[in-house]
Copies of this chain bind each other. A is one copy, B any other.
Amino acid sequence: MKMSRQVPLNALRVFEAVARLSSFTRAGEELGLTQTAVSYQIKLLEENIGEPLFLRRPRQITLTETGERLLPKVSQGFDLLGEAVVAARRASSEILILHSTPTFAQQWLTRRLGTFQFRHPQIAVRLVTGARIVDFHTETADIAIRWGTGDWPGLISQHLMRLDFAPILSPALAETHGGIREPADLLKLPLISPSDPWWKHWFKAAGVPDPNLDTLTPNDFGVQTFDAAAAMAGQGVAIVNPAHYADDIAAGRLILPFDLLCNDGRDYWLAYAESRRNVPKIRAFRDWILEEFAGADACSKTEKCI
């Protein structure tokens, strides 16, 4: 093997154990090897150094001077290595880097992350939001909440919630212009983010002829929260995922004039690298979030359109 190039690491590890325990047999037990293997490794190391490291006395072995000189640095070295790995493993199990769309983060995560922290106090969540879809290959991320169709090669995707959309507006605004009785009435009010393709989808599903909206600007999803805030302030009608604003609707700050919820085939998904499906912190987060949605599913009645 080309691996044991200059410094025979495995032999050194065996040496350390043997020196510490003063016994080939016991070192073997500690390392999970047979006494034969230990003997082999020590001989290897002795040949490499060019000097015996142990004196084989009848019922016990002793370090030679060379061995004696070798031991301290070697055990120090392994201490460091061990520490480093343990620390890395621990740290990696303690910090969960979660990527999410800004809307989902603000409307859903921030309100519920507390229960995750409570259940896993040792895991610190670092939440990174952004419209761009994170590439697990070139960026540091453990898990992501994304919006799409869920087929990402190399990733495991688990469905979180439907991403429906429907118009919302403030009760006060709904009273103006003679009230909102049918979908077409919405066109009498200012539309917030009129370039959002969702408008077209929704009006089409509602049977309203093409309202001739400009849909050049793609829905970049960074603004839904602002749209909702604008709607709440009575500045117009926004098209958003009503599930995110259930509270505001229940409190009367927003109204959902029509029960027609649309879905363009893209939902919220949880995604993480297939190769890391068993990493504890990832399992923990997945289990938690799926549980949260399992409990909430009863409330979400949606109807697929398109």
Contacts and interface: CB of A to CB of B under 8 A. Distances in A.
Interface of A: 2-7, 9-10, 12-13, 31-33, 37, 47-52, 55-57, 64-66, 69-70, 72-74, 76-85, 87-89, 91-93, 137-140, 275-276, 279-280
Contacts of A56: 137-138
B57 A140 contact: no
Nearest to A89: B49
B49 A88 contact: yes
Given A74-B80, A77-B84, 6 more contacts: A51-B279, A69-B91, A73-B84, A74-B84, A76-B80, A78-B81
Given A31-B5, A56-B138, A139-B55, A66 B88 contact: yes
Nearest to A9: B9
Dominant secondary structure of chain A at its interface with chain B = helix
A3 B10 contact: yes
A33 B79 CA distance: 27
Contacts of A51: 88, 92, 279
Q: Could you say how many copies of this chain the assembly holds? A: 2
Given A3-B33, A80-B73, A84-B77, A50 B10 contact: no
A83 B73 contact: yes
Contacts of A70: 84-85, 87-88
B33 A275 contact: no
B65 A140 contact: yes
8 contacts: A7-B85, A55-B138, A56-B137, A66-B88, A70-B87, A73-B83, A77-B79, A77-B80
A205 to B, nearest CB: 42
Contacts of A88: 49, 51, 66, 69-70
Contacts of A275: 47
8 tightest Cβ-Cβ pairs between the two chains A and B: A73-B84, A77-B80, A51-B92, A77-B81, A9-B9, A70-B88, A3-B10, A50-B279
Q: Taking each of A2, A55, A80, A139, which has the highest tally of chain B beta carbons within 10 Å of its own beta carbon?
A: A80
A286 to B, nearest CB: 15
Contact of A85 (B12, B32, B65, B85): B12
A84 B77 CA distance: 9
A3 B38 CA distance: 10
Contacts of A73: 80-81, 83-84, 87
